[in-house]
Amino acid sequence: MPTDYYEVLGVARGATEDDIKRAYRQLARRHHPDVAEDKHAAEDRFKTINEAYEVLSDPERRRMYDRYGHASNNGGAGSGPFAGFGNAEGFGDIFDMFFGGQRAAQQQRPAGPARGSDLRYDLEITLEEAYHGTEHPIAFTHLAGCETCKGSGARPGTLISACDRCGGSGVMRSARQTPLGSFVTQTTCNKCNGEGQFVQSPCETCHGRGRLERRRSLTVKIPAGVDDGSRIRIEGSGEAGARGGPSGDLYVYLSVAPHDRFRRDGLDLTVDVPISFAAAALGGKIEVETFDGPIEVLIPAGTQSGTTHFVRGHGMPAVRRSARGNLLVRTHVVVPSKLTRRQREVLEEYAEIAGDGSEERSFFDRFKDAFRVD
């Protein structure tokens, strides 16, 4: 299933060529199959990234993609069986048959004010915030619709006249006969640059642009369970469309900062907990600090260093379903670096009792060597 090339590269629809190049370089470095762990998944991802970059870095192919979506990529630029139909309006319909609709239908918007660009905001949160869910205030600058002229660009009370060349549609059409039927070629009107209208007297607030740069603050609701790379879409909070067109969306890209105690793996959390060798040998309850406060974990007698104990349901919550991961408590047996005289006596006594050539014997022999005082 094709994905949106702008989304693949993580750039806004209005991104400059430099933005696109930068985004591509970063992604290519991160997802290169030579450096990725999962080679197979990385190869597919890398292919998609390259495909997106090939189209968006070429102004002509990008223009086609903006207008026709993926259909343009499959037949445009002189390749494939439909080469030469580049600008034909019927193009979308042909590909409709192959790709099952939707995409082509979406692309055939009626001529009208263009939608505003989508915006991207990068936000870093802590693992604890991701665990509980949170609300984060953010502030950013965007192009907002001008209140004075309601985005039209015309001074209130003055006229906006339709373009006489294109009749206000912003596009020029001409019919053409081809072996596959009649096609209508559509090009942007070069008199009004596709806007379909002329402003007689420009609005003074926005100098006729219909939009103004504005600082905007809002609070982003972050659901519990989000992960590194999660994206939150805030509809209509992107840039205002030109000439009163609909606003784009704001995408908040989340990154979760590494935690100094917990590591996340899917929904599971892993934590390393040191225990004394006495606790490991005798077993018992130990206290483990979690994001929900301390919990008690039962350690069986004879626990070896590096043993993982599963605590059900204390992992990360899932975002869209009622599920929860587990907490993996990995215990590490810590050998004391100092012993009191009494401790030493008891341990030496233990070593003697246990001394029958077993594993424990050799462990305590080594232990005695390590702490020999005289």
The residues near 282 (Cβ < 8 Å, ≥ 6 apart) are: 301
Tell me the three-class secondary structure of 145-183, residue by residue: ECCCCCCCCECCCCCEEECCCCCCCCEEEEEEEECCEEE
Q: CA triplet 300, 305, 306: central angle to 5 degrees? A: 100
354 and 361 Cβ atoms separated by less than 8 Å: yes
Q: What is the token pair recorded at 227?
A: 């992960």
CA distances from 219 to 94, 138, 175, 240, 270 (A): 44, 6, 51, 19, 31
Q: Which C-beta is closer to Zn ion: that of 74 or that of 205?
A: 205
Q: Which C-beta is closer to Zn ion: that of 162 or that of 281?
A: 162
State the minimum distance, in angstroms, from the CB of residue 214 to Zn ion: 12
Residue that is written with structure tokens 């070629």 in the block: 185
State the minimum distance, in angstroms, from the CB of residue 190 to Zn ion: 8
State the minimum distance, in angstroms, from the CB of residue 146 to Zn ion: 3
> Is 144 a binder of Zn ion (CB under 5 A)?
no
Binding test (CB under 5 A) with Zn ion, winner from 125, 163, 280, 327: 163
| Stretch binding Zn ion (CB under 5 A), from 114-122, 123-131, 149-157, 329-337 | 149-157
β-pairing verdict for 327-334 and 268-276: parallel
| Stretch binding Zn ion (CB under 5 A), from 155-163, 229-237, 266-274, 336-344 | 155-163
State the minimum distance, in angstroms, from the CB of residue 157 to Zn ion: 13
> Is 275 a binder of Zn ion (CB under 5 A)?
no
Beta bridge mates, 274: 332
| Dist. CA 27–CA 13, nearest whole Å | 17
> Is 165 a binder of Zn ion (CB under 5 A)?
yes
Q: CA triplet 162, 160, 198: central angle to 5 degrees? A: 60
State the minimum distance, in angstroms, from the CB of residue 14 to Zn ion: 20
Binding test (CB under 5 A) with Zn ion, winner from 191, 263, 309, 330: 191
Work out the number of other CB atoms within 10 angstroms of the CB of residue 246: 15
> Is 271 a binder of Zn ion (CB under 5 A)?
no
> Is 143 a binder of Zn ion (CB under 5 A)?
no
Q: Which residues ranging from 279 to 338 are in contact with Zn ion (CB under 5 A)?
A: none
> Is 166 a binder of Zn ion (CB under 5 A)?
yes
Q: Which C-beta is closer to Zn ion: that of 132 or that of 173?
A: 173
Q: How many residues make contact with Zn ion (CB under 5 A)?
A: 12
Beta bridge mates, 293: 290
State the minimum distance, in angstroms, from the CB of residue 176 to Zn ion: 21
Q: Which C-beta is closer to Zn ion: that of 86 or that of 168?
A: 168
First-to-final CA distance of the chain: 74
> Is 114 a binder of Zn ion (CB under 5 A)?
no
170 and 284 Cβ atoms separated by less than 8 Å: no
Contact string (CB under 5 A) for Zn ion, positions 88-107, x = contact: --------------------
> Is 149 a binder of Zn ion (CB under 5 A)?
yes
| Stretch binding Zn ion (CB under 5 A), from 76-84, 146-154, 213-221, 284-292 | 146-154
Binding test (CB under 5 A) with Zn ion, winner from 15, 23, 94, 206: 206
| Stretch binding Zn ion (CB under 5 A), from 44-52, 98-106, 174-182, 186-194 | 186-194
The residues near 161 (Cβ < 8 Å, ≥ 6 apart) are: 197, 198, 200
Binding test (CB under 5 A) with Zn ion, winner from 189, 256, 280, 288: 189
Binding test (CB under 5 A) with Zn ion, winner from 125, 203, 288, 347: 203
Q: Which residues ranging from 123 to 142 are in contact with Zn ion (CB under 5 A)?
A: none
Give the 3-state secondary structure of residue 329: strand
CA nearest to 95, candidates 73, 79, 111, 67: 73
The phi, psi pair for 236, rounded to 5°, reads: 75, 5
Altogether, the residues listed in the chain come to a count of 374
> Is 154 a binder of Zn ion (CB under 5 A)?
no
Q: Where does this chain bind Zn ion (CB under 5 A)?
A: 146, 148-149, 163, 165-166, 189, 191-192, 203, 205-206
